[in-house]
Amino acid sequence: MGQDRVGQGRVTMEGLDVMRPTSGPGAAAAGLRVHAPARLHFGFLDLHGGLGRRFGSIGLALDAPAVDLTARPSDRLDVTGPESRRAAAYALAAATHLGIPGHAALTIDSAIPAHAGFGSGTQLALSVAAALAGLAGRPFAPEDFADALDRGNRSGVGLAAFTQGGLIVDGGRDPEGNPPPVIARLAYPEAWRVVLILDTGMTGVHGSREVAAFRDLPRFPEAQAAEICRIVLMQVLPAAVTAEPLGFGSGITRIQQLIGDHFAPHQGGRFASPAVAEALAAIAAEGVAGYGQSSWGPTGFALMPSEAEARALVARLERPGPLKFLIARGRNTGASVTTL
């Protein structure tokens, strides 16, 4: 396979022959740019699993933060930029799945913060796989890479954010462990904004701690799973269609309360970051309808009806400390792959 040479922000692997088509319908691209959105995970629908499917998720693709990378042909794997180690590992896994050498010059111009609740691993993995497939002149079907890249183990929102964007609901994993199907996808109202609250001093539960949490937590109450499903179907989704921010936001907040309290023993409370929790308490005191934490956090969010209201909220919240605020839009398209 060759030797792995690792330096700060750079991973290089050598030792395999380059095999790429040079002409015809399967011709390789001379260079590609991939842009992939982050996602918010608003919560699980059914952690009880009594009907056969477990998890189920609701989430939203965002226009920021995002993965931006460029890929060009190379006689070796050469990755530069943030998250280069993870990107190199994903490149090798994707190349193995495609049956091609894992060769490309990948430059990561921007990455999504890792383990912060944005689905960074899924977006980076799929971006790298799309780039390698495009350089090799191979078709790219993101869902085919879920197992190869170890994505979508519990939620299908990240995969759907990459392929479609928008507000997404998936139907959970079946007893055989097949990837969660998307059962609803709606456009997110263009005027609405999401205030993101990032704690730059910590990361959320991930890796072995996440596995342990799902193993050790008690079974989720069936009545609460039923309540969440009702809220999603009869409150959140209709409010998105009719652009009614109060109904949408209050529904998301109630889901956050139920899910956050269930996971509290493994993240130190309803919200993982004390600083984010303090900001969310201030947001609640102002009467904002929709707020919470994405996935395991620590990133928090507040759902605002307009850009002006989002900016005003950030101005009131900003102060010295570990928190960083970002105003994002919902992204109603998936990732883009363009030739250079």
77 phi/psi in degrees, rounded to 5: -90, 120
- Contact call for residues 240 and 286 (beta carbons, < 8 A): no
User: Contact at 8 Å (CB) between 108 and 83?
Assistant: yes
* Tens-place pLDDT, residues 268-310: 889 999 999 999 999 999 999 999 999 988 999 999 999 999 9
Number of domains within the chain: 1
CATH at residue 228: 3.30.230.120
The predicted pLDDT at position 52 comes to 94
Q: Which residues contact 134 (CB under 8 A, 6 or more apart)?
A: 28, 29, 32, 71, 140, 337
Structural domain that includes position 45: 4-339
Distance CA 304, CA 221 (A): 31
Confidence of residue 207 (pLDDT cuts 50, 70, 90): low
pLDDT value at position 296? 87
pLDDT in the model for residue 205: 63
Question: Cα–Cα distance between 331 and 168 in angstroms, integer?
Answer: 11
User: Tokens representing 4?
Assistant: 């792995």
Q: Extract the runs of DSSP E, i.e. beta strands, from the chain.
A: 4-7, 10-13, 32-46, 55-72, 77-80, 104-110, 167-170, 182-186, 193-199, 290-293, 300-304, 323-328, 336-339
The arithmetic mean of pLDDT across residues 200-219, rounded, is 75
Do β-strands 104-110 and 77-80 pair in parallel, antiparallel, or remain unpaired? parallel
* Residue-averaged pLDDT of the chain: 88
Residue 234 per-residue DSSP state: I
Asked whether the whole model's pTM tops 0.75, one would answer yes
CB-based burial of residue 273 (10 Å sphere; 0-12 exposed, 13-18 middle, 19+ buried)?
buried
Render pLDDT for 118-137 as a digit per residue (tens, 0 to 9): 999 999 999 999 999 999 99
SS3 category, 72: strand
Mean pLDDT calculated for residue range 34-50 = 96
Tokens of 110: 């921007």
